Structure 1
Amino acid sequence: MRILRLYAPSLEGEHTLCYVHANGAGCSCVNDAELPLRFARAGEPLVAEKFAGALTVVLPPEAGVEEGDFLSVDEGALLRWNAAGEKFIVCAAGFIGVSQFAEIWKPLRSAVLTVSDKGSRGERVDTAGPELERLAFLQGCVTEERKIVPDDPDAIREAVCAWAAKGISLILTTGGTGLSPRDNTPEALLSIADKFVPGFGEMMRMQTLKYTPRAFLTRSLAIVRGASLIIAFPGSRRGASQCFEAVSGGLRHAVETLIGASSDCGGHRRGA
């Protein structure tokens, strides 16, 4: 679908392009002015008091947004609907323009597993896990579970299987994908896989060669167990971030396909 109108009386009415972001207090801003973001469907009146002091994004008549849904704007912002406040929360800053493509995303359930001997003993601060959680959120994934386990195949299998049994749609692991004797994540995941998805690891290695000539040494991969997609990322924050970037273009579509869901627009442009 496309954005049909941007209406903000306090910013002199109709707009063709606006920049939205969050300030230091977490409040939504439009063109640097603190202003709530609301939405309306085409044909609905915008004269109500709630629209007067806000930027209203007008969507097609069939559009519907429920609590926790995301609005992803092509090459632009990511917003999340707060039903209680009747407003969008800015999750990622960007431009919103009339005629831009937009998608309504249902939130996806996700979990992050950090695999590290030192991390499990409290001897190393986990930076890769929180980074994966942040990046997944920008794909409309809400992390419900997070855990740090040692480089032990049984511990990895136990955590992943438990989350898959709970219906977590996307499970991200970080660590244990190298060549050392204690790097066991790929073997642990393959031992519980219903399907192996080779394209994720292939894309990670291919795309991260532009950052390091040693990219081919990572054994990152992806599997399916039940209705869960499980992806293994490197253990460093930088490596995990770069590999996530490599696969982000098809990540959400892969999960939606696996769980039998579909978004309001099939383009899946964000991150492409």
Structure 2
Amino acid sequence: MPDRVGSPPQRLVRRHPDELLVGLVSVSDRASTGQYVDQGIPALQAWLQDTIAGPMQVLTCLLPDERAQIADALRALVDERGCDLVLTTGGTGPARRDVTPDATLDVATRELPGFAEQMRQVSLHFVPTAILSRQVAVLRECPDGHAALILNLPGQPRAIRETLEGVRADGQSAGVPGVFAAVPYCLDLIGGPYVETRPDRVQAFRPKSARRQQ
């Protein structure tokens, strides 16, 4: 179940040095008021469970398209709950109520434009309207040394999977890598856990010098 906004925050306790602490935020006016069942969080949870090879804890949050609420939730997930990775879904288009990227930039200490560029590049293989996406990726770095990667993802389950996994090679083209291939090494660089993926879903990339010896 999604976290209740305003509930007393409790910091996650890492049960293993390589356990990934993830926050999932779904942004939708209608889903947050019960007009329909949210699909973003279940899709993200299922994808992560199928892709992450090691231990993982997940916190979830369902919010309306309100910039201040989204920013507060992102701060809480990183600063108070200790998440290493926060994935948002929904609210990234050009409509007036689409404010997820704006809220994400409100809490950022540094922007990572390469993730956003690649997300749009992947999506353009499927829909021409990908150029309308305002998705961003940022770091949030805390005074205590903790840091997290925050990625904005699309709202539809299929688009979430395509963005994370990329375009598969078909024998005639090389395919286009999804953005999650770069996430584990990014987490290494900001002091997060060593995350491994199942290569049949995502082949994570690390330079040879950053790979653990088996």
TM more than 0.5: yes
Shift of 1:107: 2.3
Partner AA of 1:113 in structure 2? V
Mark the CA change 1:261 to 1:240 in structure 2 (over 3 Å): closer, same or farther: closer
Shift of 1:154: 0.9
Instruction: Specify every segment of 5 or more residues in structure 1 that has no aligned partner in the other structure, as ranges.
Output: 1-67, 70-104
Alignment pair present for 1:193 and 2:108: yes
**Greater relative CO, 1 or 2 (CA 8 Å, sep 6+):** 2
Shift of 1:207: 1.4
Aligned to 1:167: 82
In structure 2, how many angstroms separate the alpha carbons of the residues matched to 1:115 and 1:124?
13
Tell me if structure 1 keeps the 8 A contact 2:19–2:193.
no
What do you get for the CA RMSD once the two structures are aligned? 2.3
Mark the CA change 1:141 to 1:148 in structure 2 (over 3 Å): closer, same or farther: farther
Shift of 1:134: 2.1
In structure 2, how many angstroms separate the alpha carbons of the residues matched to 1:262 and 1:235?
28
Shift of 1:141: 6.4
Q: Report the TM-score when normalising by structure 2.
A: 0.72
Match of 1:136 among 30, 34, 48: 48
Q: Report the TM-score when normalising by structure 1.
A: 0.57
Instruction: Specify every segment of 5 or more residues in structure 2 that has no aligned partner in the other structure, as ranges.
Output: 1-14, 142-146, 166-177, 204-214
Partner AA of 1:124 in structure 2? Y
Mark the CA change 1:147 to 1:141 in structure 2 (over 3 Å): closer, same or farther: farther
More strand by share: 1
Tell me if structure 2 keeps the 8 A contact 1:172–1:230.
yes
Q: Percent identity?
A: 33
Tell me if structure 1 keeps the 8 A contact 2:26–2:61.
yes
Partner AA of 2:38 in structure 1? D
Tell me if structure 2 keeps the 8 A contact 1:110–1:141.
no
In structure 1, how many angstroms separate the alpha carbons of the residues matched to 2:117 and 2:135?
9
Number of aligned residue pairs: give it. Answer: 168
Match of 2:65 among 134, 148, 151: 151
Shift of 1:260: 4.8
In structure 1, how many angstroms separate the alpha carbons of the residues matched to 2:183 and 2:192?
14
In structure 2, how many angstroms separate the alpha carbons of the residues matched to 1:160 and 1:260?
17
In structure 1, how many angstroms separate the alpha carbons of the residues matched to 2:55 and 2:188?
11
Partner AA of 1:155 in structure 2? Q
Alignment pair present for 1:109 and 2:24: no
Match of 2:152 among 214, 232, 249: 232
More helix by share: 2
Tell me if structure 2 keeps the 8 A contact 1:112–1:143.
no
Aligned to 1:214: 129
* Equivalent runs, 1:18-97 vs 2, <5 Å: none
Tell me if structure 2 keeps the 8 A contact 1:120–1:149.
yes
Tell me if structure 2 keeps the 8 A contact 1:200–1:221.
yes
